[in-house]
Amino acid sequence: MAEEKTNDQIEDQKASAMQSLLQEEYLKSLDGIEDGQLVTGTVVQVNNEYVFVDVGYKSEGKISTGEFSEPPELGDKVSVLIVNKEGKGGQLIISKKMADGKKKTDELKEAAENRTPVDGKFVKVIKGGYEVDLGSDYFGFCPLSKADVNRVEDPETLIGIKDKFIIEKFHTNNKLKSVVSRRDYLEEQIKKNKDEFFSKVQIGDIVEGTVKSFTSFGAFIDLGGFDGLLHLNDMSWGHVTKPKDFVKRGQVVRLRLINIDPETKKINLSLKHMTEDPWTTFAGKFNVGDVVKAPITKITNFGVFIEIEPGIEGLAHISELSWTKRVNNPKELFNIGDVVEAKVLGYDLDKKRVSLGIKQLQENPWDTITDRYLVGMNLSKPVVKVTNSGAFINLEEGIDGFLHIDDISWTKKVKNMASFCKEGDIIDVQVVKVESDTRRIRLGVKQLEGNPWQTLRHDYPKFSIISGTVSNVTDFGVFVKVIGEIEGLINKFNLVGPDETYSDEVLKKYHVGDPITAVVLEVNPFQQKLSLSVKEMIKRSEQAEVAKYMENSGDDGDTATIGELLAMKNEDK
């Protein structure tokens, strides 16, 4: 007879049967899920090590807290992956990290197929480009040429930047074989922004952009990946020389759209049109002759610009700065920021120009120049500049007279002005001519002495006999130096007597230094010309002898020609 079971054994059997039943029911509840399946669960318990998630089906799994970036709260919905629905000891094994990875894989694969932009971050510079973090431990390779729409000069500048990327090639196994492009995304956005811009804006609209770069003719404004031009002339109603005086790189500016061309996609912007054109009211505020007091804003080698009022600058040309000072560069007289008084000389509203004068507010020393420097006045003044044709002599501050090389001597030909004087020399001069309208004063040195040409013409009228010395023999005649160091010319045909025939042998009879006597044919002080003749002297001498011969022979009743008398005279000889 079998031994009766004890109460404890009976209870154990009941418990084992109940556990088997529960296990069977639990396994039945998992029939609706499979390993590798993504399900959404609810957080039911959280401790320092695990997060317990109810995935339904009367099933619960635990996940290490390390799989969460932030601790979840009770009731939070969590997407998990069924790793093993019959894990060790029948415990359901789930993973949030693996669920995130699977979701990311599907997401990236679909994005690559559809060229949908995905989030990414430049994390590391590697050979040829960048390593880009796409999230959930996925990394892609972005070539340097695909990193931006503009050339990347310093690759390190993009590290840490988050943006959208287009996946060109996607690989699930080797993560760095996935190739991404930020440039493709940016180009799509630029095209979208540009199309939207051209479809919405009109001339006259105000747009906002960022100053991108500068050129010599203006600045380029980034309007959302595409540029508009802010030309130099559209920065201010006044004169503009440097774009950087009005806008700075990286500055966000509001500008008015003044021109747009949908075909060429050219956009012209204006800063000055954000304010009223001050030139429209200029004529009502200013008249020619008005005196303005304003600051100098720019200095050039041809003058200074003075800001009459905001947006309007007038030019005081270098010639209008001083009556007397020889201004080579306006910087010698003024600095930017100097407040000066100037007179309005004229304006052109069409060309938006105003001419100003500074010297007009000072006394013009040339107005009284003839009172201070009379023709014939003798002066001793310094040489300030020597040129090939003469020298400038300083008479007073800012006023020079000019000594021409021809006014040094009445008789001597000065070929090199530097041989007569040099800068700094104090020389005696005489005022020869004063022209206040042209601001010229002519000086002379030879005028300090009497004019020997005038003396010669007075003392030796035409046909007078004069003596001198041969100074030069040329093939066209002989030069003779006479009184007062004046040089005259005897033409070669005037070297022989009236009845002689000229030949080149005649010139050989004359030598430098030989004394010679001739008759004066012409004295012209203005042209400094003295013409002499030996022929005329012989002729007049013969005529005088004939007259004397006739006087001595008396009146015998016979008549004879002058030629016959000369023949008779020659026979007597």
* Helices then strands, each counted (H, E), the chain: 8, 30
pLDDT at 228 over 80: yes
Q: What is the pTM of this model?
A: 0.46
**In the predicted model, what is the mean pLDDT of residues 512-517?**
91
Helix, strand, or coil here: 296? strand
Q: Please count the other Cβ atoms lying within 10 Å of the Cβ belonging to residue 52.
A: 16
In the prediction, which pLDDT does 1 show? 41
28-to-25, 32, 41, 379 alpha-carbon distances in Å: 5, 8, 19, 133
C-alpha R_g of the chain: 56
In the prediction, which pLDDT does 13 show? 63
* CATH class as words, domain 116-188: mainly beta
By CB atoms closer than 10 A (0-12, 13-18, 19+), residue 299 is middle
**In the predicted model, what is the mean pLDDT of residues 511-515?**
91
Q: Please count the other Cβ atoms lying within 10 Å of the Cβ belonging to residue 557.
A: 4
Round the average pLDDT of the chain to a whole number and report it. Answer: 85
In whole angstroms, give the CA distance from residue 452 to residue 449: 9
pLDDT at 566 over 60: no
In the prediction, which pLDDT does 172 show? 76
Please give the share of the chain, as a percent, with pLDDT higher than 70.
Answer: 88
User: What CATH number labels 34-114?
Assistant: 2.40.50.140
> Could you tell me the pLDDT band of residue 26, with boundaries at 50, 70 and 90?
very low
Q: Please count the other Cβ atoms lying within 10 Å of the Cβ belonging to residue 247.
A: 19
Assigned token pair, 304 = 């200074």
**In the predicted model, what is the mean pLDDT of residues 314-335?**
90
Q: How far is CA 32 from the centre of its chain?
A: 80
In whole angstroms, give the CA distance from residue 358 to residue 342: 5
In the prediction, which pLDDT does 311 show? 85
Bridge pairing between strands 227-231 and 266-270: parallel
**In the predicted model, what is the mean pLDDT of residues 64-78?**
83
Domain ranges of the chain: 34-114, 116-188, 201-274, 278-361, 365-448, 452-541
In whole angstroms, give the CA distance from residue 377 to residue 432: 8
pLDDT at 147 over 80: yes
Helix, strand, or coil here: 208? strand
In the prediction, which pLDDT does 22 show? 46
**In the predicted model, what is the mean pLDDT of residues 14-18?**
56
> Could you tell me the pLDDT band of residue 175, with boundaries at 50, 70 and 90?
low
In whole angstroms, give the CA distance from residue 429 to residue 342: 38
Q: Which of 7-21, 109-123, 400-414, 559-573 has the lowest mean pLDDT?
A: 559-573
Phi-psi region of 218 (alpha: psi -120 to 50; beta: other; left: phi over 0): left
In the prediction, which pLDDT does 241 show? 76
Assigned token pair, 317 = 């040309």
Read off the pLDDT of residues 423-480 as tens digits, 9 standing for 90 and up.
999 999 999 999 988 889 999 988 888 788 888 888 888 988 899 999 899 989 999 9
Choose the CATH number for 278-361 among 3.40.630.30, 2.40.50.140, 2.130.10.10, 3.10.105.10: 2.40.50.140
pLDDT at 339 over 90: yes
> Could you tell me the pLDDT band of residue 17, with boundaries at 50, 70 and 90?
low
pLDDT at 412 over 70: yes
Read off the pLDDT of residues 343-365 as tens digits, 9 standing for 90 and up.
999 999 988 899 999 999 988 88
Helix, strand, or coil here: 182? helix
Q: What is the largest CA-CA distance in the chain?
A: 226
Assigned token pair, 389 = 């044709």
The yes-or-no answer to whether 116-188 and 365-448 have a common fold is: yes
In whole angstroms, give the CA distance from residue 95 to residue 79: 9
In whole angstroms, give the CA distance from residue 21 to residue 244: 86
DSSP 33-55: --TT-EEEEEEEEE-SSEEEEEE
pLDDT at 82 over 60: yes
User: Is the pLDDT higher at 268 or at 245?
Assistant: 268
User: What CATH number labels 452-541?
Assistant: 2.40.50.140
pLDDT at 18 over 70: no
> Could you tell me the pLDDT band of residue 570, with boundaries at 50, 70 and 90?
low
In the prediction, which pLDDT does 27 show? 47
In the prediction, which pLDDT does 118 show? 93
Which range, 40-54, 186-200, 448-462, is most confident? Answer: 186-200
pLDDT at 63 over 70: yes
Q: Which of 16-25, 61-70, 86-95, 329-338 has the lowest mean pLDDT?
A: 16-25
CB of 541 within 8 A of CB of 549? no
**In the predicted model, what is the mean pLDDT of residues 306-314?**
90
In the prediction, which pLDDT does 563 show? 54
In whole angstroms, give the CA distance from residue 270 to residue 258: 6
**In the predicted model, what is the mean pLDDT of residues 188-212?**
91
Cα 505-506-511 angle, rounded to 5 deg: 105
User: What CATH number labels 365-448?
Assistant: 2.40.50.140
**Distance between first and last Cα of the chain:** 214
Please give the share of the chain, as a percent, with pLDDT higher than 90.
Answer: 42
CB of 235 within 8 A of CB of 247? yes
**Which residues are bridge partners to 179 per DSSP?**
141, 169
**In the predicted model, what is the mean pLDDT of residues 228-245?**
86
CATH architecture, domain defined by 201-274: Beta Barrel (2.40)
